[in-house]
Structure 1
Amino acid sequence: MRRTFEDARRWARLGTELFLGAAQGGFDEPSALPGWTRAHLVAHVAANADALGNLVHWAATGEPTPMYASPEERAQGIERGRTLPAAELTAWLRDSAAELEKAMAALGEEQWRTRVVTAQGRTVPATEVPWMRAREVCVHAVDLAGPATFADLPADFLTALCDDVVTKRSAAPGPAVSLRAPSAAWELPGDGEPALVTAELPDLAAYLTGRDTGTSAPVLGAWL
């Protein structure tokens, strides 16, 4: 992985500011995610901050605290959140982000090494939490279908994102793809002869995360 803990902390702060700046009203309008309005997406990101806060609490206290009680509880929270009045939804988004940042800033070096369990069931050190948040806020800032695009995200973040997605996709069935950007390359193992996909780094990141890039590249399955 071409990223450090300090990188992830920096990207999480940058992505949070980018998302907060993009989430300015228009909550009833569609997002770039099929079937979701901007309100769905804002509620999802706010709930994600609360959920990651549970992992930070786990690291701080040693008390096992899952991100969500269940997948159903996670979905219900988004549904409740997206019906909130705009002012309340905005307040939840901002307050949850601030509380997560405050909680992370309070962790000591040993606490950051605590093993926690993600919503996908992976056991990881708490040092992965900033990366999980960075990934969430940066990608979803683009999904708000506002002015932000993948080209607005830092190149080092996009490289780390591609590393991360290729690692995850390599463990699941799918088409074989050779990905080439001017500054980096990845091999996605899979079925058949590898299809060559050549594009700028932001477009490769969009493609790997399942966003529509308007290309004829092989269709990939779900990322997360």
Structure 2
Amino acid sequence: MERVLEWIDEGTTLCRGALRDLEGPSLLPDWSRRHVAAHLFLNADALGNLVEWARTGVERPMYPSAEARNADIEQAALLPAEQLRSSFDDACARLNAAMATLTDEQWQATIRNSRGASIPATTIPWLRTREVMIHAVDLDAGITFADLPADFLDALCNDIRTTRDAVPEVDGPLPEQAAYLCGRPYKNLTDADGRPVEPLPPCL
């Protein structure tokens, strides 16, 4: 848990630096940098809902629905750049403060993620880590998977291999493997037979 919380701080710092310029496309299809920024701060508040669920035992889903989530992102992406940045800062601070209030017992509470799967509350920090680390790259401000901590990349690859169906084994640098498994652009990867691998759809 301690290292995962450190990853959140590292990823948040990377994202905050990448938010200096919000004008332009991101690496994600149909999303601008503004969309990524909007998603990042809304996701922090959505995970805050799960923290509150774990703290009180009262069900509090991340989002009312997938449609509401998408609509909120579209609306928030229209905010002035400085408001997007301040919203990101405020939401990150709220989530960190909320997580700090949970007791050991509350961290063991069962909640549900955005897909409706039951998970322990201890998963919340990892969910946020993935968001800030991967989307720091998606903001397309010069950050690549090679800039992310190696121990995070290793944990990410292991996580995706256990949750994605039929992911082939690939050979190549760890940052490129992580990019491939996340469905992001990659290079210099081959399968077990030495053949180039086919891209995967984005998983986050």
Question: Does the aligned pair in 2 maintain the 1:150–1:205 contact within 8 Å?
Answer: yes
Shift in Å, 1:117: 0.4
Question: Does the aligned pair in 2 maintain the 1:168–1:223 contact within 8 Å?
Answer: no
- Matched residues in 1 for 2:25 and 2:201: separation? 22
- SS of alignment partner, residue 154 of structure 2: helix
- Matched residues in 2 for 1:222 and 1:200: separation? 19
Aligned to 2:91: 96
- SS of alignment partner, residue 169 of structure 2: strand
Shift in Å, 1:148: 1.2
Aligned to 1:208: 181
- Matched residues in 2 for 1:37 and 1:28: separation? 8
- Summarize the alignment of residues 7-156 of structure 1 with structure 2, pairs less than 5 Å apart: 7-25=3-21, 27-156=22-151
Q: Which amino acid aligns with 1:178?
A: E
% identical aligned pairs? 47
Aligned to 1:221: 201
Runs of 4+ off more than 3 Å:
none
Shift in Å, 1:122: 1.3
User: 5+ residue gaps in structure 2?
Assistant: 189-195
- Matched residues in 2 for 1:145 and 1:62: separation? 39
After superposition, what is the alpha-carbon deviation per residue over 1:21-58, rounded to whole angstroms, capped at 9, x for unaligned?
11112x23011112111000000111100100000011
- Matched residues in 1 for 2:135 and 2:24: separation? 15
Aligned to 2:168: 177
User: 5+ residue gaps in structure 1?
Assistant: 180-197
Count residues in correspondence.
197
Shift in Å, 1:168: 1.1
Q: Which amino acid aligns with 1:43?
A: A
After superposition, what is the alpha-carbon deviation per residue over 1:66-123, rounded to whole angstroms, capped at 9, x for unaligned?
0000001100110011000111111111100110001001111111111110001111
- Matched residues in 2 for 1:177 and 1:117: separation? 28
TM-score when scaled to structure 1?
A: 0.84
Shift in Å, 1:222: 4.1
- Matched residues in 2 for 1:222 and 1:86: separation? 26
Q: Which amino acid aligns with 1:89?
A: L
